[in-house]
Amino acid sequence: MGEKDISQKNFESHNDVVADIVNGSLFEGEEFIKADSLIDAQPFSQYKADDGVLHEQERDVAKYCVDANCNVRLAMVGFENQMAIDSDMPLHVMGYDGDSYRDEMNQDTIVVDEATGKKRRVRHKRYPVITLVLYFGEKPWKKPRCLYDVIDVPDKLKPFVNDFKLNIIDVPRLTPEQVKRYKGDFQIIADYFVQRTSGKEYVPPNKPIQHVDSMLKLMSVLTRDKRYYDFLNEDSAAKEGINMCEVLDRIVAQGEARGEIIGTQRTLVSLVKKNLLSLRDAAAEAGMSEEAFKKMAGAM
């Protein structure tokens, strides 16, 4: 599993994040799905291919929405994360959703009537399956948005072929009004992509980050900017309640400090090469062993 996939799954494993994404994307920010109504669902499903071998396919994120007593499943929500346009995405999602419905049927049980000895099937309640495709790519996701975009269907067959439609959330192309429908950390991520796509200089919000570790790791891989990840590894003050303004301020400060260190190291290497300073003294000044200094000098 790639670093991007792991980071996205870690961030979206939080129930409040899932509820926020669903409510902001589908219900204009209304709290229709509550975080405390969500429980983890099995992301794996199995199918037997033409080769007769049992295969597994895995959703990126899957949650059950249950009643107040956690006894009845009301719906299943799944996320698929995309950085690139997949021309077969409707087929993939149809497969995931179909497997989820099959799993629902597999929950039925067979009981034996004690009086008659006859078997009967106890049918469990069926519930809807909803899949959102979260797209973070540079190009707008224009197609495919439905099954008809993937396959050629003659006009005479269209009345008999259901046109399966995707729920695509093209994050960088959201409007500022749509971004405001999200209330949690996903709003910060969506706002970043929308601002960058507009071509304007990014102005970070003052909104506190709730899931600092998982959100900044996701930002690091989505933006291909390692500085977010480096920020998490620093041993400075606690990061709880920090916002993006403070994150970027610290990242800039770290970069400046790192630049000063590199500048000092380059000066020491230059002095050693000119025989104006001994290797031992240069290494001591740099706060490293002679072997480490040699290795560092060789990389410059």
Helix, strand, coil tally for the chain in percent (to 5): 45, 15, 35
**Number of folded domains in the chain?**
2
Same-domain pairing of 14 and 51: yes
Same-domain pairing of 96 and 167: yes
Q: Is the dihedral of CA 210, 135, 102, 6 positive or negative?
A: negative
Same-domain pairing of 47 and 142: yes
Per-residue pLDDT in tens (0 to 9) along the chain, 300 residues: 556 677 888 899 999 999 999 999 999 999 999 999 999 987 655 444 445 544 456 788 899 999 876 667 889 999 999 999 999 999 999 999 999 999 999 988 988 888 888 888 889 889 999 999 999 999 999 999 999 999 999 999 999 999 999 999 999 999 999 999 999 999 999 999 999 999 888 888 889 999 999 999 998 888 888 888 888 877 545 577 788 878 776 665 555 445 555 666 777 777 778 777 788 877 887 777 878 878 877 776
Same-domain pairing of 98 and 170: yes
- Say how far apart CA 142 and CA 138 lie, in whole Å: 12
Structural domain for 12, as ranges: 3-242
Q: Is the dihedral of CA 249, 250, 251, 255 positive or negative?
A: positive
Same-domain pairing of 146 and 176: yes
What DSSP character marks residue 201?
A: P
What is the CB neighbour count within 10 angstroms for residue 194?
19
Per residue in 276-285, pLDDT (tens digit) is 778 887 788 7
pLDDT for 45 equals: 52
Same-domain pairing of 217 and 263: no
Same-domain pairing of 49 and 156: yes
Phi, psi of 62 (to 5 degrees): -145, 135
Same-domain pairing of 146 and 250: no
In contact, 248 and 230? CB cutoff 8 Å: no
Same-domain pairing of 236 and 130: yes
Task: Report CA-CA distances (Å) from 17 to 12, 62, 189.
Answer: 6, 12, 11
Phi, psi of 163 (to 5 degrees): -90, 90
Residue where a domain terminates, one of 242, 258, 283: 242
Per residue in 174-226, pLDDT (tens digit) is 999 999 999 999 999 999 999 999 988 888 888 999 999 999 999 888 888 88
What DSSP character marks residue 128?
A: -
In contact, 29 and 180? CB cutoff 8 Å: yes
Same-domain pairing of 280 and 228: no
Same-domain pairing of 29 and 121: yes
- Say how far apart CA 179 and CA 177 lie, in whole Å: 5
Mean of per-residue pLDDT scores for the chain: 84
